[in-house]
């Protein structure tokens, strides 16, 4: 058994239109082994795994399961081969309960019986040490609970080849450790496990072997014990690079934005911001860390005038007038009319920051279309701005009239950040600005944030990668369930410390 690969890919190629997502990829995984697939964002890891799990069908190449050729045309076929995938963006139906999601699509013999299924779910939970309430509705769950449901769903189907796509992106360091323990237990159970990631230390601490992809091409596989971070980085990026962020000391800081005791209730009546207070200083990067969905988005939107607040105040120290302006209950337009130069790069780039179907010029116009007299638009200044940004930030695009949805993730973000910086802000807020970006684009963004800081802008940076937060920011505000759980000095704090703060108030609930 040990010699035969549980799954083997031979010369897999997949293209989307003109984009080659995977080119001639070959790799193997044995039972009782954890294989990491390492690659930058956009290197084709997810596409490759989607072909094993039946979401896509390869254009060329073969897949072998236990030495025999397999044709996987749909997720159902994949289940038949005992392959289960845990997607990065959870595939769960929000209004269903945990158990309903788990048995979804199954064709078990006998009558449809949710109670019996719930018992089986409980058995699996006990075996691997999961804590999930079978009747709980998914839309009331935390991210780590949802992930647990996904894992149980795959185990329930009897999968013995497991694929996990970026499973740690949304977890705290403690939750990550817990997940890894589970994965190791499964490996010892004889399952073949593939984990997709771009975090090097996770690769090194968890996996037995590492396969590296770069721009859709297969670079090679190495044994984890025989490699190190530098070698893996080189394989992943293709050249030796220094992965350090230059952090300067804050200069001439003055309080620019003071948030006093703000509360915010969302449409479902849940308190999403609970008595939040902090100060953002000019010439400083304030990081915001927290489990996804802990109120980060609402916080930034509250400052930008997009959220109605129940109480509290957002005071802006206007450097031109020296006044303290209250931004509370003002619309974005009114805030701009006050002379407040506030830029905001939202998490949802194509759904909020930009309009995917519009070209770059029209997207530039989003911030400036009201300028100019009369009822007609002025397209000339935004066109110049678009050309300037394309030039300055090296945006790869066929032209200024290309719809932005056609651009790659990194270029979309450059267009958005470029536009927001062009407004010469005094406060610059960015939510997950490097999510989905390759390493080069990520570092471009970090550099831009640092430049803003050096020019005396108050930068607020919401991030998910704690390593980056610790390297880039001056102070880090840790948010949990809409509360400020602490503000730490990024130069002295540790990852574990922040991880504990993230789950401080309701630690019991967040365990998965």
Give the footprint of another protein on residues 448-477 (CB under 8 A).
Answer: none
Report the chain's terminal Cα–Cα distance, integer Å.
Answer: 33
Angle at 284 between CA 283 and CA 287, to 5 degrees: 155
42 belongs to the binding site for another protein (CB under 8 A) = no
Greatest pairwise CA separation for the chain in angstroms = 77
Distance in Å, CB of 70 to another protein, minimum: 6
Site for another protein in 392-421 (CB under 8 A): 406
Least distance in angstroms from the C-beta of 110 to another protein: 10
Identify residues 142-161 at the interface with another protein (CB under 8 A): 153
Contact 220, 229 (CB under 8 A): no
Burial 299-330 (b: 16+ CB within 10 A, else e): bbbbbbbebebeebbbbbbbeeeeeebebbeb
- Three-state DSSP class for residue 328: coil
Q: How far is the CB of 77 from another protein (least distance, A)?
A: 5
C-beta of 94 vs 454, nearer to another protein: 94
Is residue 422 near another protein by the rule CB under 8 A? no
Please state the length of the chain. 512
The token pair at 384 is 């110049």
Q: Tokens 């002025």 appear where?
A: 378
Query: Can residue 72 be called a binding residue for another protein (CB under 8 A)?
Result: yes
Least Å from the CB of residue 121 to another protein: 15
Q: Among residues 134, 287, 353, 512, which is the contact residue for another protein, using CB under 8 A? A: 353
Token readout for 119 is: 């018992």
Under DSSP, is residue 195 helix (H, G, I), strand (E, B) or coil? strand
**Position 336 contacts another protein (CB under 8 A):** yes
Residue number with CB closer to another protein (312 or 409): 409
Q: Which of residues 369-388 bind another protein (CB under 8 A)?
A: 369-370, 375-377
Under the criterion CB under 8 A, does residue 352 sit at the interface with another protein? yes
Site membership for another protein, residue 338 (CB under 8 A): no
Give residues 238-297 in contact with another protein (rule: CB under 8 A).
267-268
Tokens at 332, concatenated: 């974005």
Near another protein by CB under 8 A: residue from 12, 48, 81, 422: 81
Tokens of 359: 């070209």
Nearer to another protein, 229 or 384 (CB): 384
Both tokens assigned to 481? 């369930």
Question: In the structure encoding, which two tokens stand for residue 28, read together?
Answer: 């193997």
> How many other CB atoms are there within 10 angstroms of residue 473's CB atom?
28
Choose the binding region for another protein from 230-238, 329-337, 467-475, 490-498 (rule: CB under 8 A): 329-337
Provide the token pair at 468: 């980056």
Examine residue 57 and tell whether it contacts another protein (CB under 8 A): yes
- Among 23, 31, 45, 87, which residue sits at the site for another protein (rule: CB under 8 A)? 87
- Examine residue 94 and tell whether it contacts another protein (CB under 8 A): yes
Stretch that binds another protein, among 84-92, 164-172, 214-222, 428-436 (CB under 8 A): 84-92
What six digits make up the tokens of 136?
Answer: 């709980």
Nearer to another protein, 82 or 453 (CB): 82
325 binds another protein (CB under 8 A): no
Cα dist from 424 to 2, 126, 135, 415, 473, whole Å: 61, 56, 51, 15, 21
The 8-class DSSP code of residue 226 comes to G
- Residue 158 C-beta: closest distance to another protein, Å: 13
Closest CA to 350 of 442, 436, 421: 436
- We find the least distance from the C-beta atom of residue 69 to another protein, in angstroms, to be 6
């Amino acid at each position: 058994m040990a010699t035969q690969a549980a799954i083997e890919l031979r010369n897999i190629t997949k293209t989307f239109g003109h984009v080659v997502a995977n080119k001639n990829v070959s790799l193997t995984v044995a039972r009782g082994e954890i294989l990491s697939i390492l690659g930058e964002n956009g290197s084709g890891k997810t596409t490759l795994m989607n072909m094993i799990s039946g979401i896509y069908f390869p254009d060329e190449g073969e897949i072998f399961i236990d030495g025999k050729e397999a044709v996987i045309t749909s997720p159902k076929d994949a289940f038949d081969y005992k392959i289960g995938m845990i997607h990065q963006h959870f595939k769960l139906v929000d209004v269903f309960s945990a158990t309903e999601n788990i048995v979804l699509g199954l064709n078990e013999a006998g009558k449809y019986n949710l109670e019996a299924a719930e018992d089986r779910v409980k058995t699996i939970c006990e075996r691997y040490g999961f804590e999930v309430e079978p009747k709980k509705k998914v839309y009331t769950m935390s991210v780590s609970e949802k992930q647990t449901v996904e894992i149980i769903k795959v185990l329930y189907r009897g999968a013995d080849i497991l694929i996990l796509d970026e499973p740690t992106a949304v977890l705290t360091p403690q939750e990550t450790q817990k997940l890894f323990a589970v994965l190791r237990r499964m490996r010892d159970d004889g399952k073949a496990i593939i984990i997709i990631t771009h975090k090097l230390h996770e690769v090194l601490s968890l996996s037995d072997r590492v396969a590296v992809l770069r721009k859709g091409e297969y670079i090679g596989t190495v044994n984890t014990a025989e490699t190190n971070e530098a070698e893996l980085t080189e394989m992943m990026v293709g050249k030796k690079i220094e992965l350090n962020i230059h952090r300067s000391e804050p200069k001439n800081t003055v309080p620019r934005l003071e948030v006093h005791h703000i509360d915010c209730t969302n449409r479902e009546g849940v308190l999403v911001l609970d008595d939040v207070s902090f100060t953002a200083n000019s010439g400083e990067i304030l990081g915001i860390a927290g489990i996804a969905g802990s109120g980060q988005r609402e916080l930034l939107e509250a400052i930008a005038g997009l959220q109605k607040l129940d109480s509290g105040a957002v005071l802006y120290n206007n450097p031109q007038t020296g006044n303290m302006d209250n931004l509370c209950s003002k619309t974005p337009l009114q805030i701009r009319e006050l002379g407040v130069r506030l830029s905001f790069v939202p998490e949802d780039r194509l759904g909020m920051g930009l309009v995917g179907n519009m070209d770059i010029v029209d997207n530039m116009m989003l911030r400036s279309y009201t300028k100019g007299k009369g009822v007609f638009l002025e397209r000339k200044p935004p066109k110049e701005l678009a050309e300037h940004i394309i030039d300055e930030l090296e945006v790869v695009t066929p032209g200024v009239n290309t719809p932005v949805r056609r651009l790659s993730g990194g270029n979309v973000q450059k267009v958005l950040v470029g536009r927001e910086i062009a407004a010469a802000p005094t406060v610059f807020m960015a939510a997950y600005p490097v999510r989905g970006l390759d390493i080069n684009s990520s570092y471009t963004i970090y550099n831009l944030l640092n430049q803003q800081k050096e020019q005396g802008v108050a930068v607020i940076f919401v991030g998910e990668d704690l390593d980056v937060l610790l390297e880039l920011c001056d102070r880090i505000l840790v948010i949990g369930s809409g509360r400020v759980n602490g503000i730490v000095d990024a130069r002295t704090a540790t990852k574990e410390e922040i991880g504990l703060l993230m789950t401080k108030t309701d630690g019991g609930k967040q365990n998965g």
